[in-house]
Chains A and B, each alone.
Chain A
Amino acid sequence: MSSSVERFDERARRAADRVGSTRVHRGELLRHPVYTRVLHWLVAIAFVLSLLSGFAVYSPWLFHFLTPIFGGGPMTRFLHPWFGLSFDIFFLFQFLNWFGPMTWTGADTRWLKRIKVYVTNAVKLESEDVGFFNAGQKLYFWAIALSGVLFLITGLLMWFDNVMGRWIVAVSYVIHDLAGLLMLAGFIIHFYEGTAAMPGTFRAMVDGTVTEKWARTHHPAWYRAVTGREPRDAYEEEKRRQGRKSI
């Protein structure tokens, strides 16, 4: 199963690389290939559309200003399941693409124990055992996977509300909302971490590349794996170079 998935992903990546390309300059590393980037933005667009239309159904008395974007209340309600379905389908591909590097490891458990240090920026350099994804990114990935399944099941039950009866619908609606709030919480953090919180990160999903400096600061184990150099050594070397420059 997993090998056929890997073969599929490999083919999809090659096909996407024929369509677009990623230019890696000196001092940069390839972070996300074309296939991953396209999937990410398809998922993101479908998510934002689902979120905005979902808000308009979640609390129309507060978000009725959003419904004109989608052509009015009933149209918003009509489109929302389709946005959600496309979100689930796009994410399924991203899931297959990513579930390998998203596997939980001992390093991730250690990362979670240091979460306070991470949030308060107490230590400037990320711990040496942090790989391609850190535990926070993995948590968000698995939260999306869980929410995606919950969205699909409860969403279908509400979409075809005459199939299972009104109590199932009444419960589904609560679970759907909870999954939405979980996603929203993750999305706020994800959006922040990907833009303002870590300069140099956003380009990973646009250009597909990051600087080596970024890689060894935030994902040292990945840096070591792709460059073969020790992140700490590279850091010390640059620090020495800076010292010379400033004098």
Chain B
Amino acid sequence: MPAGTLQIRAISGHSGTVPGRGVQREEEVCKYIDVTTCIGCKACEVACVEWNDHPFRETTFDNTYQTMPSTEWNYYNLIRFAEDERDGNLMWLMRKDQCMHCEDPGCLRACPADGAIIKYENGIVDFQQDNCIGCGYCISGCPFDIPKFNEKTKKVYKCTLCSDRVGQGLEPACIKACPTGCLHFGTKSDMVQIASSRAKQLREQSGFADAGVYDPASIKGTHVIYVLHDIKRPERYGLPANPVIPPSYTYWKWLAKPTGLLMAGLGLLAVFFHRVTVGPKLEQPEEPPPIEHQPDTLEAERKEQP
């Protein structure tokens, strides 16, 4: 695992280049979640709350085993329970839900604040609450409904993939807590390889003909990947089949918005120079200047002289 400093790759709302980019080669990290061996024990939820020093909060009973309906600003990690059917029998699906650390993060694209969201060279997408203005655009930019608003601090929070631990060469807290080994952490290429062989095993030996790896190409892959029983229907696990970032956060933000400001600036210049060149509309008839001061008269006098 790469240890030491975390080299930043992308900064939200930032007008310049990323300092120090490309100085050091860093491996891309990845969390691999095998939903087929998850037992829904929620040890990862507890580890997450503990490591991030979040207070234990009230849970919401919603007729399922799920701790609460969705992740929260102080609850980054949630096992989602879904009941499904397979060959006429109940199939209980458990999926660890948290930030997917997209290669093309919708939150970072949507964020207008300089440096509120950064992406490290190792693929981790991290919120910097010091720079967050709480506009909430990241919430609508995210295809996985992950960033959550804190009403008290007026800022947005989400899973950090334990960037503080990873920066010190440790695995994320959830990985450390998992008792079944359904959670893995390593380089992206290693994880994709392990996940693919597990999916192959499920297809060939366990009768899950459609088992596969969830690493959606529409957002250039994610740094959290799943092995699902049925890759053709990720919606059953609450995952979008084709996660998309609203195009307004790409084209509008980087093309139309600066153009709008430019137009406004030109408008200001236009009225200023209108005043300087065309001049004001005066009440009519204007008072004529006294004869002796009229420039035409001066000009005439000058011409008369030899």
Interface residues of A (CB under 8 A from B): 56-62, 64, 67, 73-78, 119-121, 124-125, 158, 161, 166-167, 169-171, 173-174, 177, 181, 184-185, 188-189, 192, 196-200, 211, 213-214, 216-218, 235, 238-239, 242, 246
Q: Is the CB of B153 within 8 A of A169?
A: no
Q: Is the CB of A177 within 8 A of B257?
A: yes
Nearest CB of chain B from residue A207's CB, rounded to whole Å: 16
Q: Is the CB of B134 within 8 A of A74?
A: yes
Nearest CB of chain B from residue A244's CB, rounded to whole Å: 12
Contact with A along B130-160 (1 / 0, CB 8 A): 0111111101111001000000011100000
Contacts of B141 in A (CB 8 A): 166, 170
- The 14 sampled A-B contact pairs (Cβ below 8 Å) are A57-B133, A62-B15, A74-B134, A76-B133, A120-B278, A124-B281, A169-B136, A169-B137, A169-B139, A192-B271, A192-B275, A197-B280, A198-B281, A200-B283
- In chain B, positions 224-239 with a C-beta closer than 8 Å to chain A are none
In this complex, how many residues of chain B approach chain A with their Cβ under 8 Å: the count is: 51
Q: Is the CB of B154 within 8 A of A77?
A: yes
Q: Is the CB of B280 within 8 A of A196?
A: yes
Q: Is the CB of A197 within 8 A of B136?
A: no
B15's nearest neighbour on chain A, judged by CB, is A61
- In chain B, positions 265-300 with a C-beta closer than 8 Å to chain A are 267-268, 271, 274-275, 278-288, 290-291
Q: Is the CB of A170 within 8 A of B114?
A: no
**Main DSSP-derived SS at the B contact region:** loop
Q: In the assembly, what is the distance between CA of A61 and CA of B253, in Å?
A: 12
Q: Is the CB of A246 within 8 A of B284?
A: no
Nearest CB of chain B from residue A120's CB, rounded to whole Å: 6
3 shortest interchain CB distances as A-B pairs: A73-B133, A170-B246, A74-B154
- In chain B, positions 149-178 with a C-beta closer than 8 Å to chain A are 153-155
B200 within 8 A of A: no
Q: Is the CB of A74 within 8 A of B133?
A: yes
B151's nearest neighbour on chain A, judged by CB, is A78
Most central of A158, A167, A174 by chain B CB within 10 Å? A174
Nearest CB of chain B from residue A10's CB, rounded to whole Å: 31
Which of the residues B155, B248, B278 comes within 8 Å of A174, measured between beta carbons? B248
Q: In the assembly, what is the distance between CA of A99 and CA of B185, in Å?
A: 65
Contacts of A192 in B (CB 8 A): 271, 274-275
Q: In the assembly, what is the distance between CA of A60 and CA of B261, in Å?
A: 13
B113 within 8 A of A: yes
Nearest CB of chain A from residue B300's CB, rounded to whole Å: 17
